[in-house]
Structure 1
Amino acid sequence: MKRVLRVVALLLVGVIVLGGVATMALHVALTRGALAQRIDAALERAIGREVTQGAFSIRLGLRPRIGMADATIANIPGGSRPDFARIGQLDVTLALLPLFSGRVEIDTVSIADAEIVLERNAEGRANWEFGEGGGADSGGGGISIAAIGIESSRILLPGQPVGEIGIASLDLSRDEPGDPLVLDGRITVDGEALAVSATLGVETAGAAPIAATLNGTGLRISLSGSWPRGVGAPAWSLAVEAEADAAAVQRLARLAGRTVPQVGAVRLAARVSPGEPVPTVSSLTLSVGATDLGAHVAGLALSRLELTAASFDAPVAVTARGRRGRADLGLTATLPSLRRIATEETLPIEAVLTAGAARLVLSGPIPRDLDLGPAVFDARLTTPDAALVGPVLGIALPRVTGVTAHARLGGLTTRELRLNALSVTADALEMDGDLTIVLAPRTAFRGQLAARRIDLDALGGGGPAPRRNAARVLPDLDLPIGALQGVDAALRLSARQLTAGGVTWRDASGTVALANGRLVIDPVQVTTPGGPVGGRAVLDGSVQPPRAELRLDSRGRGLDLAALRRAFGVPAGFDGSAEVAFDLRGSGATTRAVLATLSGEAGIAMVGGRFSGGTALRIGPDLLRALMPRGTPAGGVALRCLALRLSAADGVAHSEALLMEGDFGRIDGTLAINMRDEAIAARLLPDVTVMGVTVRAPVTIGGTLADPRIGVEPAAALARVIGDTVANRLWRSSTVEFLRGATGSTPPGGDCGGALTLARLGRVGPMPAAAPTPIPLVPREIQGTARDVMQGIGGLLGGRRR
């Protein structure tokens, strides 16, 4: 027995020695490259690609380790790079005993400093598919790998939205061949650091159960369900949940090569299933948290946005809530199905935007990328009051009730809203045109609007009435300086019918330019109840104090005074056509402040016509009795001319011409008004004979416009008018001289020709015929009758001579 044991021991020692010698020989052969060509050829037959390696190494033991350095695997034809993979170091640890039973059990595979390119060639072939060589030995018991570790490597994805996946460390392992595969590691996706963990079960029916999470800075993505062997596998389904904060959303958008607004936190939940040409999505919910969109539209903030879709073929519903300024905003929209969104270039959309009771309905096509900037929608707005829409646009709009508007709306998500073929109907207006609204950096309006009718009285909405003061006549109104500061405009406006102050005006038009608080309307023209007028208006709120300018004159034959009197309810006055001209300017934020600094010229000129009696002025009846003691004849008195020219400086106006002349005689004189306190000083010199009464005594007026008085001593009245800083400038004017009675010359005014030229501010106009030579010894009031008789007698005598 001892002998047998000795023989067995010797045999074992021999086997061990031979095995060690053989292993050492194999190690030497591998390290010296003796088997390199055979190994490369075997690998090439197995995967169908050219394989090269730099050096092999082997470590002996019950778990021998084989190492390979600087190995390469060739890419497929047509690849972007010559090598599919470059591996700096590959170590394989084997289980020794299973080899004796024909099994290859790999404990670990360690890969370091590897670079792998994943791509398809022009024919669509993937370079990660192997086996075309057909030379691999299919016998043996297969290969089992217990764990794979990868570190300091990267995967390149040419031509894909994600260009590179870096692997800091990645471990894949399973305890037994039938156990789930567990993955854990740290990677980077185009620089975005992520922690990865996943469990992949055993594949059945083309899919394997999976549970995976990706965690990054402000980012979490989770998957659960069954992972497909390929997207065409018949039975797989994944539930996807993702959360990303605002910063992570921007990073992910940059990874995808997209630009998105600065949105709040995003949450996504969906189920992905097989589908053609792309997998289907169902039970989709995408929500966006609080987002400040002020960088795109001033003052706009989104509190929540949610997108839902029940299935891949069901419509997508969008809801949102937000605010702009004081306005609460709501949005509901319906998009096409996800299938259409994934395959069609343009998509129909219907959306409803609400702001209180205001409702805007939009419909039209949008591009697949949901960029609404170039899209054009059919838009319809209904609102009980346009003022509700003002806060949405960031401006104050007037109260316009019962509004319905229709337009072709473009530039919805840009800073310029375009309203083409705009049509507006409301209780107070009907209007058409084209309008562009610039929302940032300053609100601005551009375009042209033509109204069939506008009721400014209704649009005023019963706004604040002028401040009343029993001692003042001129109204005290605030000028809209504040309204000019927040908006700019370049508009061409017109109105076929315009109602203001209870009076209907026609064919109004103007070109409006508003920039940085300075409003210019040039030209502006309108047909008043008495005829057309036109000119230029300026309100400059960009300076302090604000400045106002008005240049206005009548057109054609002038204004029909009788028509104006009827329209404005003036009980009596003048009949005929009067030419008016104004060129005035002043400073201040109210009408009285502007009048207190008024400078410029104003004139009224009339040829022919009649004076029909007392006027609406408070002093009218008293003044008429002073000039015409027995009153005005029933048919009034005929006029040859009426001329008034006022020149103003620093709020004090004085007459350059004041003349009324006719068969009754003439009234001329001079006038001065202080617009600051409405003090008045006038001295009229009549030479009038009416109804047998001749008046030639001067008539003086003093007091104020609210309380005028006749018979005031002229110097005292004048002192009240010019008792301020303008006294020195006016003291030597002809008006002042005449009011003081310091000259014995004929009062200013002259005959009709000179006075009319002054009243027209130097413009040329019609002149009356020369006054006939008076018939001696015939009273003035019957000069016309006597002249007609004499002409008749002359005609008879002339006939006899024939």
Structure 2
Amino acid sequence: MATPEAPMDGGRPPGPPLKPPAGLPPGREPTPPRRRRGWWIAGGVVLALPLLGYATLSVLLDGEYLRRRVESAVTAATGRPFTLSGPVGLKLALVPTVVLEGPRFANAPGGSRPEMFTARRVEAEVALLPLLSQRLEIRHLTVVAPELLLETDAAGQPNWRFHPAAAPAQAPDSRPAPAPGAASTGGRPVQGYAVELRQVELRDGRAVWHDMRSGQTEQLALPALALHTEGDGTLRMMGDVGFRGLALSLDARGGSLSGLLSAQSGTQPGRPSAQDWPIDASLSGEGIQAQLSGTFSGNVWSGRLRVSADNTARLAMLVPGLALPPAEDLALDMDLAPGGPTSIRLAAGKVDLPRRDSGPDISLGPITVTAPDLGARVSATGEAQIGDLPLSWRADLPPPRAVRSGRGGPWPLQLSVTGEDLALSLGGTLAGPGPEGAAMDLSLKIQDLRTLGQRAHLPLPGLRGLEASTHLVGEADGWVGLRNLSLRSEQAEATGDLRLRPGSVPAVDGRIDVARLDLDAIPPPLPPAPAKADAGQGAGQGAGQDAGGATPTAPAAPAPPALPTGSRKVIPDLPVPLDRLAALEADLRLRVGLLRAGRLDWRNGEAVLALHGGRLLADPLAIDGAGGRIALRVAAEGTASPPSLDVSAHAPSVDLAALLPALGLPGGVSGMLDAETALSARGRTLREMAAGLNGSLGLALADGRVDISLLDAVAGDLRRLLLPNAPRNGSEAVRCLALRLQARDGVASAQAMLLETDIASVLGSGSVDLGQERLDLRLLPRARLGGIGLAIPVVVDGALAQPRLRADPQGAASAGAAILKELSNRRNDPGGMLGQTLNQALGQILGEGDSEADCAAQLRIARGGREGPVPAPAAPENRQGGVGDLLRGLLRR
């Protein structure tokens, strides 16, 4: 029995072919059942994969598995607690988003606050398909309102150094193994997932830096910052940063995330250098830029740092409290190394130093400062400009680290400055960061100090061939000693020892010995040099010429505005800044061997000055010259309200013929003057002091001479009236000059006032109100003509600026009586009772009957009661002639 043939089509028995279903178009064959099943299977897979991904997420989120997973993973990796204070949610989408609310990461023990990191919310977009292969691929992680605290504790340890927890020993699992094909439950642990992070975005974040040792705190605003993984696995960060009001842009590239987590623990001995995490970052803003290229391992950086800024105002915003002068084109380059920065280079295009009062503009630049490292010597070179004077300088400085620590000294220091006809050098050693213990030699050479001052816009005297030197010594309490100080030039020679103490109130003490000083040979300072001609001027124009070829003249200074007639003052309202005495402390002793001034030699000068707490005492101030010794004493108190000034002087024998030209005053007077004064005043201006002047002034002179031209300039009209036939040329003998004024509250009253020559005299009394600048004087000029005395009383009043001189209306009788007195004398009855009575009566009227009206008495009063030289007795008068000579003199006939 034959065996039937197996079917060839999958089991359908042979038979006639199937007919197509009704309704199919002709030629269209029906789809085989196997192909239809394939499409159904493919569609099911497409629908099942997302469902499986969501199911996987549901399993992960089930029972807050993800919360525990994340918290335990971060805690185990860092050794610090990590918690999620809010719920864990899921936003369904093609790429679902996991939402973690309120993440908190604990700070290091002993930190300033419990959390190192907090955020309002973390959103993670998780790819579904990688979950099937146990990979957690986070395509986009968004952190909203993060706040990161980076700080160092009291011991200097950073809080970003983590200590991962040791993995606990796994106990053997005593539970029976599940049957094959049994499904695992959500409560059992599952295999770990590999985490892959593609992109991180920070919104409205903030980073805080805190140093617990110094208390310094800084904040960095992070309004928008994005971190993503490049194709090669490296990280790139871009975004905006705000720091102290300065908007900055950040662009950084680094290694992988896993490398960063590995590098933060630091390189351990014996471990490969692959732990170093590379970084290339730039931070830029308006006028400022920083670049860092290198590697990071633990808290150690290695690489190159470059920082540049167009001016110091940018740095002032970044580093408040940094007192830097205005500077331009700043640049800092250094290599970062574990032991500290190396190959340091600091450069500045221009540095403007602070200007003092009316001093010149001073600038430095360009400047270059280099050092191999902080433990090596520093080299600095650059240019300088003082006014229009260019200079070059170079300095070799001690190591910054050694000077700051104060150990390892002394350290050498060198500074040299050169310019046109100028050379300055400073060399020696420093013992520490302050001046104490320093020892250096300073030398200065200037060919022409006056010309140098003109270019530097400084009013310097015309010393030529100047050479100065000293030995600088740093002393305790901030003092700097200038020992063996020496100054030599063609016009001066001086030595001394000084001590200086810089500070808010500088101090100076010591001695200065001037062997010689020729002020007549020192020309005055020159005005600043004119500005150079612009480069755009024609080649044919010389320096200092205008377009027409002529040398322009300096514009005349505008004339001061004229004061109203009624407000003119003789005493200027100039400030007397005694309050500035509080800005200096001083104890000085000065000696002068020879001083030449005004073509007069002064010798044996001495000055002792003490200035403390705004109180000045200069006693003595003395020097020999002009026929005698002049001594002064000056005391001032600048801290009083108002400030006070006391001046006393005594010159018992001064040659006026030599002194007046030396002081720049008109000559024409000779004789030995005895002068003394003791005056005190209070006020802030010269006019205020004059208004409150107290004290005395005395002048006494016997047997001198005065030029007639000077008498005519002082009292020409009165002299010509009284002496119409008096000589107009030559000189006239002065028998005596006596003047003593006693001032009280600004009113100076005459106690003695007499000028007597061979042919005339002037006796006076009255007062001068210095506060109101008013005169109230009564003068009695007397002339002798032909043996007859003529007296015409005169009143001098009005303002000092416009004095009025007029005859005293009450003095006519006195003048007539004076004539009668002389007539009585001419009638040979000088000793008769009538003449004696008339003489006494007329003497009381004329003010000459008293003994104080003669030269000896008036000179004694002027000297303050001291005796002194008196004029020789007057020659007997020639009594020839008569009244007609007098009348002809008066009537000019």
Structure 1: how far apart are the matches of 2:658 and 2:632? 21
Alignment of structure 1 residues 378-397 onto 2, 5 Å: 379-387=442-450, 396-397=459-460
Q: Which amino acid aligns with 2:308?
A: A
User: 1:686-721: per-residue Cα shift (whole Å, max 9, x none)?
Assistant: xxxxxxxxxxx8699xxxxxxxxxxxxx899x99xx
Match in the other structure for 2:207: 155
Selected match of 1:759 from 859, 869, 884? 859
Match in the other structure for 2:601: 504
Match in the other structure for 2:79: 48
Cα shift at 1:429: 3.8
Cα shift at 1:452: 3.0
Find the residue that maps to 1:33 and give its secondary structure.
Answer: helix
Structure 2: how far apart are the matches of 1:298 and 1:75? 56
Query: Is residue 378 of structure 2 the alignment partner of residue 316 of structure 1?
Result: yes
Selected match of 1:107 from 126, 139, 143? 139
Contact persistence 2:99–2:122 (CA under 8 A) = yes
Distance 1:83 1:108, change over 3 A: same
Structure 2: how far apart are the matches of 1:501 and 1:285? 54
Structure 2: how far apart are the matches of 1:643 and 1:103? 123
* Structure 1: 5+ residue stretches without partners: 465-478, 539-548, 590-598, 606-610, 620-640, 661-666, 674-680, 686-696, 701-713, 773-802
User: 1:741-790: per-residue Cα shift (whole Å, max 9, x none)?
Assistant: 67526996999996334224152334799x99xxxxxxxxxxxxxxxxxx
Task: Please give the root-mean-square deviation of Cα atoms over the aligned residues, in Å.
Answer: 6.3
User: 1:319-370: per-residue Cα shift (whole Å, max 9, x none)?
Assistant: 45454555555543332345546755897643345675344444577899x9
Selected match of 1:670 from 761, 776, 779? 761
Structure 2: how far apart are the matches of 1:551 and 1:699? 43
Alignment of structure 1 residues 221-620 onto 2, 5 Å: 221-224=290-293, 226-230=294-298, 236-254=302-320, 258-276=321-339, 278-282=340-344, 284-289=345-350, 291=352, 293-294=354-355, 298-302=359-363, 304-309=365-370, 311-312=372-373, 315-325=377-387, 327-328=389-390, 331-337=393-399, 340=402, 349-353=413-417, 356-362=420-426, 379-387=442-450, 396-406=459-469, 424-426=487-489, 427-430=491-494, 432=496, 450-461=512-523, 494-497=590-593, 498-509=595-606, 524-528=621-625, 530-535=627-632, 553-555=650-652, 580-581=674-675, 602-604=699-701
The percentage of counterpart residues that share the same residue type is 21
User: 1:437-462: per-residue Cα shift (whole Å, max 9, x none)?
Assistant: 9999xx99987864433434445438
Structure 1: how far apart are the matches of 2:817 and 2:324? 74
Find the residue that maps to 2:198 and give its secondary structure.
Answer: strand
Structure 1: how far apart are the matches of 2:655 and 2:357? 54
Match in the other structure for 1:218: 287
Q: Which amino acid aligns with 2:865?
A: V
Cα shift at 1:117: 1.6
Moved more, 238-247 or 26-35: 26-35
Distance 1:418 1:382, change over 3 A: farther
Contact persistence 2:754–2:763 (CA under 8 A) = no
Contact persistence 2:651–2:674 (CA under 8 A) = yes
Contact persistence 1:512–1:522 (CA under 8 A) = yes
Find the residue that maps to 1:158 and give its secondary structure.
Answer: strand
Structure 2: how far apart are the matches of 1:741 and 1:433? 71
Distance 1:102 1:344, change over 3 A: farther
Match in the other structure for 1:792: none
Cα shift at 1:104: 4.0
Structure 2: how far apart are the matches of 1:581 and 1:79? 82
Distance 1:156 1:273, change over 3 A: closer
Selected match of 1:175 from 219, 230, 233? 230
Distance 1:122 1:395, change over 3 A: closer
Match in the other structure for 1:143: 195
Structure 2: how far apart are the matches of 1:301 and 1:128? 47
Structure 1: how far apart are the matches of 2:431 and 2:228? 46
Find the residue that maps to 2:323 and give its secondary structure.
Answer: coil
Query: Is residue 105 of structure 2 the alignment partner of residue 73 of structure 1?
Result: yes
User: 1:84-134: per-residue Cα shift (whole Å, max 9, x none)?
Assistant: 211222223334334444544332322222112223445554433345223
Structure 1: how far apart are the matches of 2:74 and 2:783? 124
Query: Is residue 54 of structure 2 the alignment partner of residue 23 of structure 1?
Result: yes
Contact persistence 1:584–1:602 (CA under 8 A) = no
Q: Which amino acid aligns with 1:268?
A: A
User: 1:564-589: per-residue Cα shift (whole Å, max 9, x none)?
Assistant: 9xx99xxxx999xx67126699xxx9
User: 1:140-187: per-residue Cα shift (whole Å, max 9, x none)?
Assistant: 6853322222222222221185622221122222333x3543221111
Q: Which amino acid aligns with 2:464?
A: T
Match in the other structure for 1:728: 806
Q: Which amino acid aligns with 2:421?
A: A
Cα shift at 1:494: 4.0
Contact persistence 1:324–1:391 (CA under 8 A) = no
Distance 1:16 1:25, change over 3 A: same
Distance 1:729 1:91, change over 3 A: farther
Bigger Rg over Cα:
2
User: 1:412-459: per-residue Cα shift (whole Å, max 9, x none)?
Assistant: xxxx9998666544432425465989999xx99987864433434445
Find the residue that maps to 1:765 and give its secondary structure.
Answer: coil
Structure 1: how far apart are the matches of 2:868 and 2:362? 68
Distance 1:118 1:243, change over 3 A: same
Structure 2: how far apart are the matches of 1:169 and 1:193? 12
Cα shift at 1:197: 0.9
Match in the other structure for 2:254: 200
Distance 1:57 1:296, change over 3 A: farther
Find the residue that maps to 1:302 and give its secondary structure.
Answer: strand
Q: Which amino acid aligns with 1:165?
A: L
Cα shift at 1:230: 4.7
Cα shift at 1:535: 4.5
Find the residue that maps to 2:318 and give its secondary structure.
Answer: helix
Structure 2: how far apart are the matches of 1:334 and 1:495? 38
Contact persistence 1:328–1:355 (CA under 8 A) = yes
Structure 2: how far apart are the matches of 1:179 and 1:22? 25
Find the residue that maps to 2:146 and give its secondary structure.
Answer: strand
Distance 1:748 1:432, change over 3 A: farther
Find the residue that maps to 1:196 and give its secondary structure.
Answer: strand
- How many residues get paired? 637
Contact persistence 1:319–1:332 (CA under 8 A) = yes
Cα shift at 1:287: 0.8
Cα shift at 1:219: 1.5
Structure 2: how far apart are the matches of 1:399 and 1:47? 76
Distance 1:428 1:733, change over 3 A: farther
Contact persistence 1:654–1:670 (CA under 8 A) = no
Q: Which amino acid aligns with 1:88?
A: R
User: 1:204-229: per-residue Cα shift (whole Å, max 9, x none)?
Assistant: 755455443211122122234x3233
Match in the other structure for 2:64: 33
